[in-house]
Structure 1
């Protein structure tokens, strides 16, 4: 029976059509719209069939001429439609001779003549209105109403100091937020419509005379060469502008905090805002930029800033190397461990059936599962699950004799150390590297760990973001920039 089901002929796969190909199945996209309202209505109903939010209005003027209006109800301003379009038309008693005369009757700020069906369909999808008076050329009335909100607290980037509000889903208003932080005529913004169909609004913001011209030229070339139909998320844009998309390290960073973006702009970077996203992309970035936050500059004592940044670098090193170092020493070079510590580690592993490598992989996997679960769960139970799950799993694993006390301490400290990094995606990259280092240490011990770290440094030195070295100011070394990163000038 099972073999019969497996041999059953499968249905033909869905033939995916592009926007223009799909529209061409209903009409010639380059044809002018007919002057008959009945013909236009029939074609619009065919194109937007099975769309319950597609709305139509039919009525007659006092002169007896029919009028047809169509739009998507959730995308327009209904009161403005009534006051600026329908009411003036119903009150007009004279005979409308041409389309220019029709435009003068409406009390809207902007309208446009329709050239072909492609323009008509795209305009309706943008939230505008197709207005057609019988025997006249149709026009597009711009009454689109975006759904936005007031700025709220950042939800992913917490801070002690700094601004207490974040960006919203409107790129134009986000640019306005940046102008509140940087009141400088050198703050420039360039607008793009990206996506053949979606025409997503993207704004590039930078400070003139701060940002390098070659960065702007390279970014402008990339954004103008985007030829896919849709751009829906900030992640798509970030991956597209990254020169090394297969690298494990992010070559741009995302932020929803205006103060952090303002600091980045002053440092000569470019911020990219996209509609329908509360995050913006900041590029180019370096390794040092990914461990820096805007609130670092709120420290009144410069030694506090020095301590915090050294602590983050040390935590990055420990959180990445420690599990692999433990496996290499316990499994290959136990003679390098001090005698007292060797005895303590050996006693904790007497009843453990698993090798050190299996212990490390098991605990790291359990830790990452708990982290992902606590993120996806609602906020009022996420933290509880993370804390309780970690305690229960760690305690139960030790009491059951599956892992040692030492391994639980190593993994717990590893997790805490990496969470000192401000960028979550940067942390995720090092979590993956942690697995790779443990695997290499399992095969070759300390020699393999040293070799892997060397290859990792070579990759980091080779990487760049918008043609800017990723390891700057370490490689190439810039002593002045290196010093000001840890001890900034007054």
Structure 2
């Protein structure tokens, strides 16, 4: 009896039909729709049943010829439908003899005759209008009106200089924004419809003669091979095209700033836009690329750029290794700490019941919780919670004797240093590595920390993004490119 009670139940997976398989249950998708408008109306009502936003218009021309129009109400411009389609049909009905001469009647620049049911259904789903005059072939009138908004200030990539607007959720308009930055016929774009169910529009942008052709060919093959049911976020596609999806480091970066994207295109990179996403993906990237911002090129004094980039690299190194180094020195090699500092650290830890490792993990975890909470909370309380929470938790933990003053200083400086890195995805990777380094330092001390950093460097040297070495220009070493990174040419 108990065996039957705890027996694992078999769950039958739900089998989803593809878009074309679903349509085949109603019509022959490769056949032409009939010329009888009443038949077309019946079939479309079956296909789009239980859809309250599916709208239809049926009326007769003055010569008693039936007309059937269908569309999704939220995806078209209703005034344009009246002015550009319905009124011209009613006023010039006597000129309607074939589907081809509709262009001389309706005041819409683009329309197309329907060749099969698949085209008819897909076009309506894209936000266009199907117009069917009885005994003529149905036509698709392109009057789609996408729900978009005006560009706003970037919300995640704050900069002193640079453009003060970001991308929107329309991939076509985002490509248009980039054509304002780079007015060159070599700026090429490719379009894809990806996802069996979502049918999401993807745009790939690159600069010919700057980007390597093999990167475009490989990316084209990857996107065309995407056979999943849906594609809703840029992250889904980025993970799919990454050569090393299990690596802790991102092989692409995301941005919402047009000026950064323009600079990336000039560097020979590929930019991927996605409908319904304000961020684009930039690939291939290197570790040095993830430390750059478009603002760097606004500096009038090149030595300022040198200082900023050295500061970012130093901060990345400190923000990752400092907690593990503290644990290794305090727990295993205190003799390596200067005598005066050793006495100060020992005095601050006299009443602390926790070992240095538990201190470090507790404070890092509290810091990450505060960061995540401040992101998820509404903007008008998020910053307050982050500041107040940090002060209250840090002060209370020290006064309660749970952590030492030195550990609070180490963790606070670690947090500030790591957030000088421009890429949030890159920062998140180093936050995870920070925990791993603390764990290794707990087991093997300074030797373990050195060994872990060595393995980390080996992994970074082995990694690549679309066959471009991740550590370039450090490995392979290129002194000219390295000099350009720190002191770019005038």
The two structures have a TM-score, normalised by structure 1, of 0.94
Rate the CA distance shift 1:269–1:9 in 2: closer, same or farther, 3 A: closer
Partner of 1:151: 151
Cα shift at 1:11: 8.9
CA contact (8 A) 2:181 2:259 kept: yes
**Stretch moving more, 366-375 or 57-66:** 57-66
Question: Contact 2:18 / 2:197 at 8 angstroms: preserved in 1?
Answer: no
Aligned to 1:349: 349
Q: Is residue 18–residue 196 contact of structure 2 (8 Å, CA) maintained in 1? A: no
Q: Distance in 2 between matches of 1:415 and 1:487?
A: 28
Q: 1:204–1:273: 8 Å Cα contact kept in structure 2?
A: yes
Report the RMSD for the aligned CA atoms in angstroms.
2.3
How far, CA to CA, are the matches of 2:124 and 2:26 in structure 1? 16
TM-score, L = length of structure 2: 0.94
Distance in structure 1 (CA, Å) of the matches to 2:395 and 2:289: 38
Q: Which runs of 5+ in 1 are unaligned?
A: none
**Deviation, structure 1 residue 14:** 3.6
Contact 2:370–2:389 under 8 Å retained in 1:
yes
Q: Secondary structure at the match of 1:94?
A: helix
SS, match of residue 320 in structure 2:
helix
Partner of 1:33: 33
Local SS of the residue matching 1:136:
coil
User: Shift of residue 433 of structure 1?
Assistant: 0.5
Superposed, 1:402-481 pairs within 5 Å as 402-481=402-481
Q: Which residue of 1 aligns with 2:374?
A: 374
User: C-alpha separation between the residues in 2 aligned to 1:18 and 1:178?
Assistant: 35
In the alignment, what sits opposite 1:162? 162
TM superposition shift of 1:335 = 2.0
Distance 1:482 1:281 in 2: 24
Distance in 2 separating the partners of 1:236 and 1:378: 26
**Aligned residues of 2:191 and 2:204 also touching (Cα < 8 A):** yes
SS in 1 for 2:94: coil
Deviates more, 1:80-89 or 1:468-477: 80-89
> Distance in 2 between the 1:338 and 1:266 partners?
49
Preserved CA contact (<8 Å) 1:61 1:92: no
2:330 matched residue in structure 1: 330
Equivalent residue for 1:53?
53
Q: Structure 1 15/217 Cα, relative in aligned 2: closer, same or farther at 3 Å?
A: closer
Q: Distance in 2 between matches of 1:134 and 1:263?
A: 54
1:114-125 superposed matches below 5 A: 114-125=114-125
Q: Distance in 2 between matches of 1:33 and 1:427?
A: 55
Q: Report 1:12-411 matches (<5 A).
A: 14-94=14-94, 96-102=96-102, 104-411=104-411
CA distance in 2, matches of 1:397, 1:309: 35
Q: Which moved more, 1:254-263 or 1:313-322?
A: 254-263
Q: Which runs of 5+ in 2 are unaligned?
A: none
- The alpha-carbon deviation at position 286 of structure 1 amounts to 0.6
Distance in 2, matches of 1:454 and 1:10, equals 46
Cα offset, 1:476, TM superposition: 0.3
Higher mean alpha-carbon deviation, 378-387 vs 161-170, is at: 161-170
| Kept in 1: contact 2:75–2:128 (CA 8 A) | yes
Partner Cα distance (1:433, 1:75) in 2: 46
- 1:62, 1:92 within 8 Å by CA — same for their partners in 2? no
Change (3 A) 1:12 1:218: closer
Aligned partners of 1:63 and 1:95 also within 8 Å: no
Q: Shift in Å at residue 166 of structure 1?
A: 1.6
C-alpha distance after superposition, 1:437-483 (max 9, x if no partner): 11111111111111111110000000111111000010000011111
**Alpha-carbon offset, residue 386 of structure 1:** 0.4
Q: Secondary structure at the match of 1:218?
A: helix
- Aligned residues, how many? 489
Q: Per-residue deviation at 1:5?
A: 10
Q: Which deviates more from structure 2 when the two are superposed, residues 105-114 or residues 159-168?
A: 105-114
